[in-house]
Amino acid sequence: MNRVTGFFLRVKHWQLFLLIFGVYCIGQFVAMKSMVTAEPAARAGGFGIPFWVLMMIFGFSFLAWFWAMGSFLSSILRPELRLKLGFFRFALLYPIFYAFFFFKFVLSTRPVPVFVIVPLHLFAMFCFFYIVYFDSKSLVLAEKREPLSFSDYAGPFFLLWFFPIGVWIIQPKINRLYAGNRNPGDSPSKT
């Protein structure tokens, strides 16, 4: 595991909350301030460099947490229970490319037609739901070590979906699993 992955697997729930949700909230305050003080023509997308830097930190941190969680959980599962990583990796990268596309073309003076942007946006939403599905199912598989139905991992699914609440419950589980399984391939310890 690299340092970024290790950081997101070891960090405490309150630190993760402050990093991701705190940076997001500060970015929103910066955006509101720039909207109040900016000229009307600049309000559409001209929030300034501090806003975009904060949103990049937020986006990277949020997706890196999901990446670290999914990669780690997949590595500690028995091969017959392991979910395939291929689409999971793609689903993590697609929103990044979509965000650049969205802000480059949609907020320009010549916006992209709706029939182009709506399918791209819906696919980005699908990718996010897949990431949440992958991580929530992998988490419960790592804990129970047996095949599951949706009802078994519905709780973690919705906790990850509603991140600001779920991080307080999900991250301590990740911390325990990581502490008990430092070497990929080890069997998970009971938590």
Q: How far apart are CA 65 and CA 173, in angstroms?
A: 14
Greater confidence (81 vs 112) lies with: 81
Q: Name residues whose C-beta falls within 8 Å of residue 65's C-beta, 6 or more positions apart in sequence.
A: 8, 16, 20
- Residue 189: pLDDT band with limits 50, 70, 90: very low
Lowest mean pLDDT among 10-24, 60-74, 108-122: 108-122
Element of type H or E holding 27: helix 23-37
List the one residue out of 132, 131, 139, 130 whose CA is nearest residue 158. 132
- Residue 70: pLDDT band with limits 50, 70, 90: very high
Averaged confidence pLDDT in the chain: 85
Q: Name residues whose C-beta falls within 8 Å of residue 168's C-beta, 6 or more positions apart in sequence.
A: 13, 14, 17
pLDDT of residue 68: 95
- In Å, what is the CA distance from 44 to each residue of 21, 89, 104, 106, 129? 23, 32, 12, 10, 28
- Residue 54: pLDDT band with limits 50, 70, 90: confident
Please, are residues 107 and 45 in contact by the beta-carbon 8 Å criterion? Answer: yes
Cα-only R_g, the chain: 19
Q: Name residues whose C-beta falls within 8 Å of residue 177's C-beta, 6 or more positions apart in sequence.
A: 72, 73, 76, 139, 142, 143, 188, 189, 191
Instruction: Write out pLDDT tens, residues 114-155.
Output: 788 889 989 999 999 999 999 999 999 999 988 889 999 999
Examine the pLDDT at 190 and tell me if it is beyond 60.
Answer: no
- Residue 32: pLDDT band with limits 50, 70, 90: confident
- Residue 175: pLDDT band with limits 50, 70, 90: very high
pLDDT of residue 183: 53
Element of type H or E holding 105: none
Q: How far is CA 87 from the centre of its chain?
A: 15
Q: For residues 160-170, give the mean pLDDT.
A: 92
pLDDT of residue 187: 45
For residues 80, 82, 87, 91, the Cα torsion angle rounded to the nearest 10 degrees is: 160
pLDDT of residue 132: 96
Phi, psi of 90 (to 5 degrees): -60, -45
Which residue type is seen at 6?
Answer: G
Instruction: Write out pLDDT tens, residues 86-98.
Output: 999 999 999 888 8
Q: Name residues whose C-beta falls within 8 Å of residue 11's C-beta, 6 or more positions apart in sequence.
A: 19, 171
Lowest mean pLDDT among 6-10, 34-38, 177-181: 34-38
